[in-house]
Every structure is written in structure tokens, then in C-alpha cells.
A and B are shown apart, each in its own frame.
Chain A
Amino acid sequence: MENQWKVGIGDYKVTKDPDSLITLGLGSCVGIALYDRTRKIGGLSHIMLPDSTAFSREVKPGKFADLAIPLMVEELTAQGTLKRNLVAKIAGGASMFNFPDRKLSSDIGRRNVEAVERVLTELEIPIIGRHTGGSAGRTMVVDLADFQVDIRMAAKNIITL
């Protein structure tokens, strides 16, 4: 592993083997890793919200599932990747606090996961690994040599997608 690039909340990055990508502390946010196995190039995005259309003010595209994923695909294709070669692995979308009263939660984690699935389906990018939902935060590490994705959770073992 050469360089490990950190992707901040509401941001995304594209790079290639031998680099790796990491994003920390996904709660209700969702991490989306995209990969082209033939060229060993990929990206990682840390979205916070499902949909940008309700926001009229100038928005940061990396925050939204509907903007960040297409932009990441655009950057990958600009570097020579064919869209049909791309595959995805996703993680996150937790509900961090379990209130006995469901009305106290707006379930943003679940809505984020649904939006990510919808955008990937529209772009015809298959999801080949996933670890979503539940009530625990996740850190996601993407190795661009072989698209191994490790999910670290607080006080739990690493899960490999």
C-alpha cells in the first residue's frame, strides 16, 4: 500500500492502485466505493444526505447521493474507465441511537442507503458487497489493488467485503 487517501465527510476522491482510500466514522452517512478491476482504479465517497433537489441554495455536491456518485463516475470515465466495468461496495446508513419511540428518529440512515441503491441502479453499476443499517458506526478502507474493502466498527472485528 503506497498512499492512503482520507476522504472527509461530504467529500469523494478518485485514485488508483497502489493507493488506498479510507473514510472514518460513517454513522447515518453512507460510503460508496467504486472500482474498475481492469484498470485498478476506483473512488470512495462519503455522502451525508439522499437528495439535493430540496436545496435551492448552492450545495456541496459531495454531500448528496444524487450528485456525488455521478460526479465520481464522471471522474473515473475521464481517466479512461468504461462505465460498464464499474462495480460498487457500500457501507453505513446506521441509526446510531435506538429510541424506544420511533417517532424520535427521521431514519436518515435508511433513506441514505435507499438513495445510494437507486442512483447505482440508474447508472447500471452492480453492488457486489454491502454492510449497511444497524446501529453501529463504521470506518471503510478500500484497497485499490484488489478492491478488498474492510469495515471497522467500534469494539468489533474487521469485516471484509
Chain B
Amino acid sequence: MNSQSYTAIQTDALKELANIGGGNAATAIAHLVSRIIHMNVPRIDILDYAEVFSGIMAEDEDVVAVNLQMLGDGQGSFLFVTPPEHARVLAKLMLPKGMPLVDELEDSALCELVNIIVSSYLHAVSRLTDLLLISSVPALTRDMFGAVLSSTYLESGQYDDQIMIIRNEFLYEGTRVDSALYFIPRPGVLEGLFNKLGL
């Protein structure tokens, strides 16, 4: 990705798409769990890895990460990242009150949550852009942030020293729960999108 070459209008359009996609996702989850879910204004940054690990999260920080592949008219990856203690809170949101939370159940509840987030995100973006965008089944891992993030960029064919961070942050009512959704497009996917939007 030659990320430096995007115009201000293109970056704004991207931010707006992330805003609408993320907003739709937050609404879907809020309906499902009957709680208020907030979303911060999406961030779009172009950073090198050192800046990511000093500014967002250290590379050896333990996280729970769920990855879904975007398929259809555009390819890429969605990566949902949350600290282990917050993963537990999010999984509990998805389950009936009082249900004992075993590890396997926690992981599958979290996968389902992210599945809903990403499909509602893509549903909104598909409608806006008239592109058919769908997501694969989720895959979950508990590991170091650096290992998870760099591998996802490299697997998506993003080989630059500088990476484009497209990030939605979700906040859940009551307890503050940190979670972020990264979108990593395959090379050329954003160019196709801008073409389609006439930008």
C-alpha cells in the first residue's frame, strides 16, 4: 500500500465509511444485549510499527484477538483486539445472567460477538458502496499484540514499513471496556473503493 498517496478527501471518505460501518455494528450489538454501546470517532493513522507499539499498545502485551477475512468484491482482514480481562466482560454480555463462564464458552461467545460486529459493519458498507462484501468464519487467538498485528498485516500482503491503521473503538455502558477493531485491506482494495465512489 502506498498509503502516503491518499488525498484528504479519500481519507475522509474512509473515515466516514468506518464511522457508518462501526455505528451499524454498535447498534446491532446494543440491540442484541440491550445495553448502550458507544463508539469513538474512528481513527485513521499512517504509522510505522515502532509508533504503533509505543502509541497504541506494546508488542508483548497479552490480548485476545479475533480475525475475520473480508471476501467478495474486496479482500482484507478484520482484527478485533481486547485485553483478556475485558474479553471476559464482553463474553458475559453475550450470555444469559448467571451462566458459568468456561473458557470454551467465553471464546465462542466472543467469536460470535465479533462475527456480528463485522457482518453489520460490512452490511452497512456494502449498502453504501454497492459492493458485495461478506466475512469468513472467525478465528480466535490469545497471544502477544505485536505477533497478532504484524502477522495480520503481512498475511494481508501489507509489506510496507508504514502501515495504515483504520481503527474503531467500542465502549460499553457501565464498566469501561477497551476493544478495538482494525481493518486491514489487501493492496489495491482501497483504490477500487475510491474508484467506485468517484474519488
Contacts and interface: CB of A to CB of B under 8 A. Distances in A.
Interface of A: 8-10, 24-29, 48-49, 55, 60, 63, 94-101, 104-106, 108-109, 135-139, 154-155
26 contacts: A9-B49, A9-B50, A9-B150, A10-B49, A24-B144, A24-B146, A25-B145, A26-B147, A27-B147, A27-B150, A28-B150, A29-B150, A29-B151, A48-B150, A94-B151, A96-B141, A98-B139, A99-B67, A101-B136, A135-B141, A137-B146, A137-B147, A139-B60, A154-B62, A155-B62, A155-B142
Nearest to A152: B60
Given A8-B49, A154-B142, A106 B69 contact: no
A60 B139 contact: no
Given A28-B150, A97-B151, 5 more contacts: A24-B144, A27-B147, A27-B148, A95-B151, A99-B136
Contacts of B157: 106
B24 interface: no
Contacts, number: 99
Pairs of residues from A and B, 6 with the lowest C-beta to C-beta distance, nearest first: A25-B146, A137-B147, A27-B147, A27-B151, A25-B59, A97-B139
B154 interface: yes
Contacts of B152: 96-97
> Which of A8, A55, A108, A137 counts the most B-chain CB atoms under 10 A from its CB?
A137
Contacts of A48: 150, 154, 159
Contact of B144 (A95, A105, A108, A139): A139
A98 B69 CA distance: 12
B150 A63 contact: no
B155 interface: yes
B143 interface: yes
Contacts of B147: 25-27, 29, 94, 96, 136-138
B149 to A, nearest CB: 8
Nearest to A104: B69
Contact of B59 (A24, A95, A99, A108): A24
A133 B147 CA distance: 13
Given A96-B147, A99-B69, A60 B161 contact: yes
Nearest to A28: B151
A8 B69 contact: no
B102 interface: no
A63 B163 CA distance: 14
B146 A27 contact: yes
Nearest to B136: A104
Interface string B24-54: 0000000000000000000000000110000
Interface string B123-163: 00000000000001101111111111011101101010100
B49 A96 contact: no
B159 A109 contact: no
B111 to A, nearest CB: 12
A95 B154 CA distance: 11
A99 B143 contact: no
> Which of A28, A55, A97, A136 counts the most B-chain CB atoms under 10 A from its CB?
A97
A24 B139 CA distance: 23
A49 B154 CA distance: 8
B141 A97 contact: yes
A97 B154 CA distance: 13
A138 B143 CA distance: 9
A137 B144 contact: yes
